[in-house]
Structure 1
């Protein structure tokens, strides 16, 4: 990661960072009782990263399977993963021990409807019914995502998947099956997980399924100039169509909620220059406004329309009306902040998303295989969403610390990180943020989309060398369990963290 230069950052910005270091964790002494009674605490996983059993009981390949088996993930696949397909009851006992309110899962479209449309796979339907029943019978709310970086390969082969508006009909029919079969027990639906990252990773950078791009040599095919904008457009149309279906057909009887999630790195100006401040706002418009502006206001941000021009599809009046307000909550996935430098003067040969954005990202220094602890960034982000987007209901659906996967159960860094960010959420809620839930990523060490099995986020370690894939609780599992059972958090490691972070920032400048 890049180190910030003291020759570039003005003294006023240094003082700002040191101020943030001194207030880095917000609320230090808190307990679960400090949150609203209906605030939801949970954890989560996804089908592609957790279930395994990729070729069992009628499941067909997804674009994630194809991507992984092409060697693009360093040889790591989800063929077995955590074997959640067979071990879900054991894992739900861990959730009960941890005292989770809720657990996020995703539905493998390829397991439920193997050809993407047509007959339901009875074995897949049985698995998800069993999983959801086991959760609810143990008092754990199932929060369900329909798409989490996967899609039946059959639909990608037939018409390009998200590249074609033919996906809209198939996605709505898939959603209809899920609402009908599981909606009597599932009250929280996320249509598409991290829509902005799914688009950029899959069609701009080629680092996520289906691995398309035209700006990097790793991609066998793709067009980075138009495909990201087209895919995001189709995802928004598909989301709004599924939300419309739910409201018209299921809402009155099931009384659930439908939302969509995005990933947000919080953006901070590299300097206090006008150029960097404007570039930071531009980054917010491109990363956040790209998805939220249509959902809140019915159209893309003006700056995106001005810069991308005809490469950015336009909504019809009917489409705009359908998309605007087509959510009951926003899912927010967040891990850290980045510093933004203006790059408007650079002439790029290819006009793509990043050329339109015209910024450079400077990443704060952090230990290897760890995220920097910057909870003030989450608090500022929630304030931004409150001020700019009318304070929508927000589930923080992913937040957690990455570490090297080395088998240690003493994950102090994860405890410090989670404690810090929950404290920031509490401060934001006290300041009026309509944040209604927080989910630690993730319950188990599983297949990570960018790092395979080389890194971990889990509260529980999974021993991949053991044929039983035995789970072991880490220190973070004990800490989160104690917090969820109402015990007051200890400030001791947090005090140490404050000292370490303050010293680190002073040395950095």
Structure 2
């Protein structure tokens, strides 16, 4: 799949910043090869994975490839956090639109697939009932969602971004706006967190720093889940596009003994899947849900420290032995409509069965 097609951007990161048309043509050529070779097998293509977080991490914070930034205390040799984040985000949208147009013109009628764009989603809620925090929450939504979702749905950036970022935010030509608008058959959502938002006032004359977070003008603290809120917001604000939840899961420390009986993961998945169901019943056009992940693997930022898998992998074993966790048994039962597994009593029964079989 093109779920990780962003790798093509890493190899031409300078072009992505300075020569968007060249980067776009390379990206589209690569996509063309993928469509041609794998299109008979793949029906759902995601051109850009976590477009917002890929851009912020790689060009604002510098903590993910290609590691560019200009923030004090960061170990970045090159970069400009004030401008590159927005330039790269702009070119990602244009590259996606170009690949999408190619697929729809050349392959869609023959292969019958769909093409989309994915975002990392944080559900923002105001930390107080103050007007400032309510405005800050909408600003956070505009920056994290609207930055890429509004061009994909309506063809331009949110007013709050244009006002705050000013000339540092690229401008779509009329032709580009029309190409980006409607270029996604669906929106892919990666969702793990919600956040409580507090308005902050940044004094640029003192700090001398402008980047994505200073433009955003909020601070936030991670708090409990709110999947339903994310889907409801997208439904109301962005004309209820088709949504696939491409990642959602519970991180746990790599401890083989504790990993096997991962009750906390079951409770997490039970709650999140329930929230998806509520959103669908309330009219959200959510069409699919994927647990992250099928088995333990290398995570980009945390390595092997945390795991999300339904199956544990013994990385000390030369054969990398895989074992189903309690959550794998629960999820199997859920998919088979054995609803008695849901709830605390069902989990306790599952634990008992799991211990007996072990």
TM-score, normalization: structure 1?
0.65
- CA apart distance, 1:147: 2.1
Residues 471, 275 of structure 1: CA spacing in aligned structure 2 closer, same or farther, 3 A cutoff?
same
Which residue, 27, 39, 57 being the options, matches 1:183?
39
Query: Residue 318 of structure 1 corresponds to which residue in structure 2?
Result: 175
Secondary structure at the aligned position of 2:12 is classed as: helix
Which residue, 366, 379, 382 being the options, matches 2:231?
382
- CA apart distance, 1:443: 0.8
- CA apart distance, 1:494: 8.1
Secondary structure at the aligned position of 2:148 is classed as: helix
Residues 489, 204 of structure 1: CA spacing in aligned structure 2 closer, same or farther, 3 A cutoff?
farther
1:270 aligns with 2:122: no
Mapped to 1, the partners of 2:143 and 2:182 lie a distance apart of: 20
- CA apart distance, 1:221: 1.4
Mapped to 1, the partners of 2:128 and 2:279 lie a distance apart of: 25
Query: Residue 393 of structure 1 corresponds to which residue in structure 2?
Result: 242
Mapped to 1, the partners of 2:116 and 2:326 lie a distance apart of: 33
Which residue, 2, 12, 19 being the options, matches 1:164?
19
Query: Residue 296 of structure 1 corresponds to which residue in structure 2?
Result: 153
Q: Flag the structure with more relative contact order, 1 or 2, with Cα contacts below 8 A and sequence separation at least 6.
A: 1
Query: Residue 198 of structure 1 corresponds to which residue in structure 2?
Result: 54
> How do residues 216-231 of structure 1 correspond to structure 2 at under 5 angstroms?
216-231=73-88
Q: Retained in 1: the 8 A contact 2:334–2:341?
A: no
Which residue, 198, 206, 220 being the options, matches 1:361?
220
Secondary structure at the aligned position of 1:336 is classed as: strand
Q: Which blocks of at least 5 consecutive residues in structure 1 are unaligned?
A: 1-105, 107-143, 365-371, 497-509
> How do residues 349-498 of structure 1 correspond to structure 2 at under 5 angstroms?
349-364=208-223, 372=224, 374=225, 377-407=226-256, 408-493=259-344
Secondary structure at the aligned position of 2:309 is classed as: coil
- CA apart distance, 1:188: 0.2
Q: Which blocks of at least 5 consecutive residues in structure 2 are unaligned?
A: 348-358
Mapped to 1, the partners of 2:289 and 2:46 lie a distance apart of: 15
Secondary structure at the aligned position of 2:299 is classed as: coil
Secondary structure at the aligned position of 1:458 is classed as: coil
Q: Retained in 2: the 8 A contact 1:411–1:475?
A: yes
Per-residue displacement from partner, 1:83-122 (whole Å, max 9, x unpaired)? Answer: xxxxxxxxxxxxxxxxxxxxxxx5xxxxxxxxxxxxxxxx
Compare the two structures and name the one with the higher helix fraction: 2
Residues 494, 303 of structure 1: CA spacing in aligned structure 2 closer, same or farther, 3 A cutoff?
farther
Per-residue displacement from partner, 1:348-375 (whole Å, max 9, x unpaired)? Answer: 42122111111111223xxxxxxx4x2x
Per-residue displacement from partner, 1:459-500 (whole Å, max 9, x unpaired)? Answer: 11111101111111111111111111221143442899xxxx
Mapped to 1, the partners of 2:235 and 2:272 lie a distance apart of: 18
For the aligned residue pairs, the C-alpha RMSD in angstroms reads: 1.8
Mapped to 2, the partners of 1:299 and 1:172 lie a distance apart of: 22
Residues 432-441 or 405-414, more deviating: 405-414
Per-residue displacement from partner, 1:133-164 (whole Å, max 9, x unpaired)? Answer: xxxxxxxxxxx51425x3376534xx445653
Secondary structure at the aligned position of 2:171 is classed as: coil
Count of residues in correspondence between the two structures: 342
Residues 440, 203 of structure 1: CA spacing in aligned structure 2 closer, same or farther, 3 A cutoff?
same
TM-score, normalization: structure 2?
0.92
Mapped to 1, the partners of 2:57 and 2:43 lie a distance apart of: 29
Q: Retained in 2: the 8 A contact 1:378–1:424?
A: yes
Q: Retained in 1: the 8 A contact 2:127–2:198?
A: yes
